[in-house]
């Protein structure tokens, strides 16, 4: 799995400089793409875990250990995604409480 969350970076928005708004839009697009890729990775891990458990239950010679490792990977990645979501929601709520 690609660790796309560690690759995220926060850049300041510099709207007063030429091209500042365009750069902010590009950064927002990059953030959105990174977040979308991370969610796709989580989904693929969950799909892989479901397939391995199904193979195990159908007796297709699947290894119990591999199935458990796949399930744990999917669980951990989902928990990480939920924590990132919680941080994003908390940041949004804090921004909405700011007075301008």
* Model confidence, pTM: 0.68
Tell me the pLDDT tens digit for each residue of 42-79: 999 999 999 999 999 999 887 899 999 999 999 999 99
Question: Which long-range contacts link 65-74 to residues 24+ away (Cβ below 8 Å)?
Answer: 70/45, 73/1, 73/45, 73/49, 74/42, 74/45, 74/46, 74/48, 74/49
């Amino acid at each position: 799995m690609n660790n796309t969350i560690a690759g995220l970076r926060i850049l300041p928005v510099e709207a007063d400089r030429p091209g500042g708004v365009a750069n902010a839009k590009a950064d927002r697009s990059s953030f959105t793409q990174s977040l979308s890729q991370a969610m796709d990775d989580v989904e693929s891990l969950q799909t892989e875990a479901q397939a391995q458990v199904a193979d195990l239950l159908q007796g297709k010679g699947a290894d119990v250990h591999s199935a458990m490792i796949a399930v744990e990977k999917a669980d951990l990645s989902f928990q990480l995604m939920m924590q990132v979501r919680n941080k994003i929601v908390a940041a949004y709520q804090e921004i909405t409480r700011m007075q301008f």
